[in-house]
Structure 1
Amino acid sequence: MKQLLIRLKLLIKSRRLNVFVLFLSMAFFILIITKLSQNYTNTLRFEIETVNVPAEIVLINRNSTLDISFKADGFKWLSYVFNSPKIKIDFKKDSLIRTTDYLFRINDNKKKLNSYLPKTAESILYNTEGLVFEFDLNYTKMTPVKLVKNIEFSNGFDIVDSIKISPQKVKLIGPKSILDTVEFVSTKRVELKKVNSSKNITIDLDFKAYNSSIKSNVSKVDLSFEVDKFTEGSFLVPLELINKPKTTKVTYFPKNATVVYYTTLNHFNSVRESDFKVIIDYNTINSTSNYLVPRLDFNNSNVKTARVNLKKVDYIITE
């Protein structure tokens, strides 16, 4: 019987505690609502964002913030805690005066500025009469594109010709003092592994290394290159002595040299021995050297590279 009475007393106490907590929470909630319903005057700092700036100018110094004081209820002020306020200055649509600088006068643009404030805002004051945007005239410069790459081919495959970039040059717009220091615009790094087929890709240009005041009419370029299977071949080619005086007899050794060439598998049968010449030049003879250095010439466009496996040619001159 005693235990039953103890449990009843505990239950009554716990209910009283819950009721107390409930009434305390309601009182706190009403207090917050009351406070937020009241009007407060504060100053809010807005970040300035510029849009549609004319392409022929670059902003070199400007107001980056605008302080606005106004009266509004607590609910409106609470909303700014979670959102950083910004004001967009549109160089095409807004009223700006252009002299030596651009001037955004507050009185001329109050309707726009007030649209960023609560509709019930009162006693609106601005910390300045206008926003000044200093500018410099932009120059243009056609600048070559530099490809940054690391391309690895599968065994036996290679690029047929050079990599084609389109466009090869891009127009940069910016202050002349900065443009004069820019020699090229790099692409973002192209990483390709085990390439065994032709490619056509689009790659972004990398402007991170350049001043933020530099703009471009192009942000991407197209890359293309043909890939084919390659092989090596060789010919034993006779040496050809040039520029020898008619009255001079020159004996040289060896008489032939091996030429190794690199071409696509499809064009292998189109390469002939007559496409190559290994030349030694009599005019290169001097008193400090007792040998001639062979030079390789070839005129077959299907041959990517070629080399002669001969470093020097011994000779004897007899009158």
Structure 2
Amino acid sequence: MQNSFFISLIKIPNVKDLLSKKNQVAMKNNNKLKVFLLFLSLSFFFWIIIKLSEVYIYDVKFKVEYTEFPSKLLLQKEPPDEIILTLKTVGFKLLNYSIREKKINFSLANLEKVRKHTYYTVTKSNFKFIQSQFSAETELLNIKPDTLFFEFGKKFSKKVQVTSQAELEFRLGYNVVDKVNVEPSEVSISGPEGIIDSIIEIKTKAKKVTDIFKDFEIKLPLIVPKNVTVKPAEVVIKGKVDKFTQGTFTLPIEVINVPRSVLITTYPKEVKVIYTVPFKDYNKIVAESFKVICDFKETQENELDYLIPKLIDTPDMVYSVRIVPNKIDYLIKE
């Protein structure tokens, strides 16, 4: 009885109640942390606003776009593309200038000549013009550098050859008849003398065309060098395409320039002439259309121990002609 009395006096707390109390404390602490972070963020935000509202003096780089070029002169070299402006303005403006690329127009109306091709301008001559490109909140204090130099020269023109960079792949059995034409084959270029003198050709942009089996015309733009004008700016690549086939004839060899006292026997006495011809012209080709010779004098002059067969007659419609073998052994009988 006594033990049960003491037990009844002692109240054992519920485990669930203990956990819920701990959660309540943690939630209160968490809420306090959130409130603290909120106020910290707001404080930082307002501090930034206040700081950016203050006035600062700072050097800022600007890209330059030149205006009012001399009408009869051309730039020979690339001019400076940046200047540094010392600005007095609020932090918001400076932040904007730092994040975004800004361009400043710069007038070349006040150029002075130093020597034959060299001109200069004092940057302060553009002070009011540059200031006018900013809002009233921004004051221009200084421009660096204080002087800009330019190389100008007269405009020169000439004609140069066009080189095609087209890569043409033909369907099996097909090829171009005659040659690929570039129209026009020459273009007119104009620009600074120093640049124009160094240009010997203008290339087309590269282009790959595959599975060609019929006549084609391909427009290709030209690669235009910097500070150069090219007219026209594009050309046309043209070609006539036909189906081709291969033909072969076995022909005798004629040796020329042999002294009367010398008798030459060749081994072999005949060669094969292998050629390519448009399919439609195949039946027009006959063996008599070809003639193969070997020049004995050429062999002696070059101190060779063999003769070189050469074709002196071939039909106009035949392409890619080769002789097999391309060296002929011989025996001299005197």
Same fold (TM over 0.5): yes
Once the two structures are superposed, what CA deviation does each residue of 1:127-180 show, in whole Å capped at 9, x if it has no partner?
Answer: 455533232445434332334465443432222121212332334445555555
1:165 aligns with 2:194: no
TM-score (norm 2): 0.69
Alignment-derived partner of residue 244 in structure 2 = 230
Q: 1:275 to 1:50 in 2, by over 3 A?
A: farther
What SS class does the counterpart of residue 300 from structure 1 fall into?
Answer: coil
Distance (Å, rounded) in 2 between the aligned partners of 1:12 and 1:263? 96
Shift of 1:263: 0.7
Q: Deviations along 1:259-317, whole A, 9 cap, x unmatched?
A: 43321112223334453344567987979899976542346332224345575597999
The equivalent of 1:261 in structure 2 is 275
Aligned to 2:38: 22
| Partners of 1:237 and 1:273 in 2: CA distance | 7
Which residue in 2 is equivalent to 1:95?
A: 109
With over 3 angstroms needed to count, the CA separation of the structure-2 counterparts of 1:297 and 1:71, relative to structure 1, is: same
Q: 2:53 aligns with which of 22, 25, 37?
A: 37
1: CA distance between counterparts of 2:306 and 2:147?
Answer: 83
The one-letter code sitting in structure 1 at the alignment partner of 2:238 is S
**1:71 touches 1:122 (CA, 8 Å); kept in 2?**
yes
Amino acid at match of 2:230: N
Distance across 1 between alignment mates of 2:42 and 2:90:
21
Moved more, 7-16 or 261-270: 7-16
Q: Does 1:301 align with 2:302?
A: no
Q: CA deviation at 1:112?
A: 3.9
Report the Cα offset of residue 231 of structure 1.
Answer: 0.7
Distance change in 2, residues 1:291/1:65 (3 Å): closer
The amino acid that maps onto 2:319 is K
Equivalent residues in 2 for 1:196-211 (5 A)? 196-205=213-222
From the CA coordinates, give the structure whose radius of gyration is larger: 2
Measure how far apart 1:47 and its partner are: 2.5
**Aligned residue runs from structure 1 range 277-296, under 5 A:** 277-278=291-292, 295-296=310-311
SS in 1 for 2:135: coil
Between 1:122-131 and 1:68-77, the stretch displaced more is 122-131
* Cα distance in 1 between the residues matched to 2:300 and 2:39: 112
Partner residue, 1:215: 228
1:140 aligns with 2:151: no
Provide the C-alpha distance between the structure 1 equivalents of 2:68 and 2:216, rounded to a whole number of angstroms. Answer: 37
**Structure 1 portions without partners, runs of 5+:** none
Contact 1:241 1:280 in 2 (8 A): yes
128 and 260 in structure 1: CA distance in 2 versus 1, 3 angstrom threshold: closer
Measure, in 2, the Cα distance between the counterparts of 1:115 and 1:272.
85
Give the 3 Å change call, closer, same or farther, for CA 102–89 of structure 1 in structure 2: farther
Structure 2 contact 307–330 (Cα < 8 Å) conserved: yes
What's the secondary structure of 2:83's corresponding residue?
A: strand
**CA separation of 1:304 and 1:98: change in aligned 2, threshold 3 A:** farther
1:184 equivalent in alignment to 2:194: no
Identity level (%): 26
Q: Secondary structure at the match of 2:179?
A: coil
**Shift in Å, 1:27:** 2.1
3-state SS of 2:178 partner: coil
**1:217 aligned counterpart, secondary structure:** strand
- CA distance 1:159–1:89, shift in 2 (3 Å): farther
